[in-house]
Amino acid sequence: MKYHILFVDDEPQVLQGLRRMLHSQSREWELHFTPGGKEALELMATTPMDVVVSDMRMPGMDGVQLLNEVKERFPKAARVALSGHMDERMIMGSTKVVHQYLSKPCSPETLISVLRRLLALRRYLAEEAIACLSSSLEHIPSLPKLYVAIQEELQSPRCSLKKIGEIISTDVGMSAKILQLVNSSFFGMYSKVTSPAQAVNLLGTETVKALVLHVQVFSQYDPKKCPHFSLARLSRHSLMTATLAKRICITENAPQDMQDDAFLAGILHDVGKLIFAVNCPDLYDEMLEMVMSENMSLPAVEQEVMGANHAQLGAYVLGLWGMSDPVLEAIAFHHRPRLSIVNQFLPMTALHAANALVVGIQPEGPVGRVEGPDLEYLDACGLGGQIVAWEEKARELFGMVDTETKPAEKMRK
């Protein structure tokens, strides 16, 4: 079955160029071209598209309006903005509707690799078993209001770090938990952080936003009915993985947005386990017990019994929250990055390696047999030689971690 990809642009020569550029893909992709939003929507009413790639500046219906309509009427289609220049208003308006931005001119390699990534992720998450499973679950974590408020503030032109700090301070319980986390050993602060505004200043808005999610997700449920599942252990594992994934990105000189995505993905990568434990405690408990006693792989057993593993389920649920593609991709493929079919350094690469390394270091880590980093995949990305340096970073970060004493306190001694 071929994928259907629609390109929308008012400049005929751009469409012509795209047609030529992507000709080599015609065995896998059915390409469609329309000169405007109106024609695009008419075509989509009869031919379902897997991806819509739209210019942003077009007469009549502009790219933001078109992609908004596509989101409403054809939510399954992935939405890509391909644009020469976007003004601030356009960027603001498009963040909620665009899965991926590309700037013109765009090389065939970049365009093909971006489209392949989008399609691989969607194919992986579109398996019917996950949709059936998630619609049968009663308790799905919700996106915290505070997170939404911060997100909205970040999009306001008058946004300031002080204001973000104030928004967090309005939720006293959340503030206390965030400060507890920030002052814990994971962040190795030299002096005590006393206010959310200070935390935002020191760690950056994206990291604090990810911590808001961490606190919310890990305090929303307490799966007591699943005794082999430890919420505290998972929370600790998630924080360690997130911290290391971000550090790996820094080591690889990855840009800030990749560092932030890797941290956020690390915080949430195993949320699927929590969803299983809360929704089917008895069955999941039996699975955990079996995995532990027989030293089996948990994702494999989940797949067998539930029809999907925690990585797929987590990414699927976070997709409903509107998380960005790189974050979803990292979570969906954190155990099997090869399935993503992309061989380049991504937040997914950092998360995969961080998860495997943390499992090796964390004595009371996740249950069952856990594979080490996929060296063949890392070699294919040209990163096979880096694993030693990354492991070193992990030891540097966590070598001194114990449950009683924080590094900051150790340093004072």
**What distance in Å separates the CA atoms of residue 303 and residue 280, rounded to the nearest whole number?**
14
Angle at CA 80, nearest 5°, toward 74 and 84?
Answer: 140
CB of 125 to Fe ion, least distance (A): 16
Three-class SS of residue 59? coil
Choose between 216 and 355: whose C-beta lies nearer to Fe ion.
Answer: 355
Query: Is there binding between residue 329 and Fe ion (CB under 5 A)?
Result: no
* Minimum distance, C-beta of residue 327 to Fe ion, in the bound complex (Å): 15
Judged by CB, which is closer to Fe ion: 4, or 269? 269
Tokens 């219906």, residue located: 61
Structure tokens at 250: 């820094």
- Least Cβ distance, residue 308 to Fe ion (angstroms): 13
Distances (CA, A) of 347 to 60, 170, 206, 260, 268: 37, 32, 15, 9, 13
Q: How far apart are CA 333 and CA 353, in angstroms?
A: 11
What's the Cα-to-Cα distance from 65 to each of 39, 42, 98, 138, 159, rounded to whole Å? Answer: 13, 15, 11, 34, 25
Nearer to Fe ion, 50 or 285 (CB): 285
Q: Is 37 or 314 the residue whose CB approaches Fe ion more closely?
A: 314
Output the smallest distance, CB 315 to Fe ion, in A. 11
Min CB(160)–Fe ion separation in Å: 35
Residues 231-290 that bind Fe ion (CB under 5 A): 270
Shortest approach of Fe ion to residue 218 CB, angstroms?
14
Nearest to Fe ion of 201, 362 (CB atom): 362
Q: How far is the CB of 240 from Fe ion (least distance, A)?
A: 9
Q: Quick one: how many helices (H) and strands (E) in the chain?
A: 22, 5
Binding mask 352-391 for Fe ion (x = CB under 5 A): ---x------------------------------------
- Compare residues 235 and 355 and give the one whose CB is closer to Fe ion: 355
Whether the Cβ atoms of residue 180 and residue 162 lie closer than 8 Å to each other: no
Identify which of residues 144 and 366 has a Cβ nearer to Fe ion in the complex.
Answer: 366
Closest distance of CB 69 from Fe ion, Å: 37
| Distance in angstroms (rounded) separating the CA atoms of residues 278 and 217 | 12
Burial 73-112, CB ≥16 within 10 A → b, else e: eeeebbbbbbbeebeeebbebbeebbbbebeeebeeeebb
Q: Angle at which helices 161-169 and 196-203 pack, to 10 degrees?
A: 140
Strand residues in 9-90 grouped as ranges (E):
29-34, 51-54, 78-83
How many residues at the interface with Fe ion, by CB under 5 A?
2
Interface of this chain with Fe ion, residues 339 to 358, rule: CB under 5 A: 355
Residue number, 99 or 237, with CB nearest to Fe ion: 237
Task: Give yes or no for residue 302 binding Fe ion (CB under 5 A).
Answer: no
395: number of Cβ within 10 Å: 11
CB of 192 to Fe ion, least distance (A): 30
Please write down the long-range contacts of 43-47, taking CB distance under 8 Å and 24 or more positions apart: 43/6, 44/6, 44/70, 44/73, 44/74, 44/77, 47/4
Is the Cβ of residue 96 or residue 369 nearer to Fe ion in the bound state?
369
Q: What is the CA radius of gyration of the chain?
A: 22
Q: Which residues bind Fe ion (CB under 5 A)?
A: 270, 355
